[in-house]
Structure 1
Amino acid sequence: MLKIQDIRELIKAIDQSSIEEFKYEQDGTKITMRKERKMIEQVQQVVQQAPISIPQQVVTTVQPQVENIVEKEVKQETPAVKPTNLHKITSPMVGTFYSSPSPDSAPYIKVGDQVKSDSVVCIVEAMKLMNEIEAEIKGEIVEILVENGQLVEYGQELFLVKPE
């Protein structure tokens, strides 16, 4: 039987590797882990790693379109400056992040919502137990840092809150 520490180490190892899916089975215990790679992140990495060289004749014929595309990419790649006084809501355990109480329900919160210290902001499922996570502070949700259904680590930042 795997211990929780072994599972945590396994999650970290798979997260840092190029493996996209991992299955483990022993004595009736089954573990399946999958990583979702976003195409946008991969494209941005390629754009950052290799400069694009366009022949001059192509540049003159499609210049307006290329400029528009490059402007959009630069706007997307430029990170926004975040205020330093933001409170970080972190995961108290390893598990799966859920933004709503059920798949059909609306999310607990959205960016721009006001929360109180006892407001439920999400659920982290760990070992078939649904753990409601509270905001711990009164303020406005500035950013949601994880996707619905994503595996989260202990101490991983889930939300940024601008305190009141």
Structure 2
Amino acid sequence: MMDSNQPLHLGQPSRLPASPAEAVLDYVPNPRPGTTYLVRFAVPEFTSLCPVTGQPDFAHLVIDYVPGETIVESKSLKLFLGAFRNHAAFHEDCTVGIGERLFAEMGPSWLRIGGYWYPRGGIPIDVFWQSGAPPADLWLPDQGVPSYRGRG
């Protein structure tokens, strides 16, 4: 985790990291500490590689979180997620790993991730992870991604 006072990427030219492990996520102070609110990132063009065939996999990710002391800086998140483009992992590993890393580093009050994966071998796979029960007073809209229906 970077020092929240010194973002590495914000306002700087940045290259796509070679791997998710090498990606540095920046966190900045929460502008509304003590307020329960939801932050949502929708990532409709997430890609990774199948660890068996090496073929590309595609997903629509939705990341929801309630900030604690910090928020994730969006450019660093984009670079982190882009680093999966050449990363070979199963859908479950990518989805849960992203959620766990953000939760461990950022320390939000609550976080969930929905991974809506496009079919591989004719079977779409959806993967969901959350850090626990959401705060009782949180407005929590549906993630808005319908189950895969194919062409029809």
TM-score scaled by structure 1? 0.23
Question: Structure 1 or 2: larger helix share?
Answer: 1
Look at both structures and tell me which one has the larger radius of gyration over its CA atoms.
1
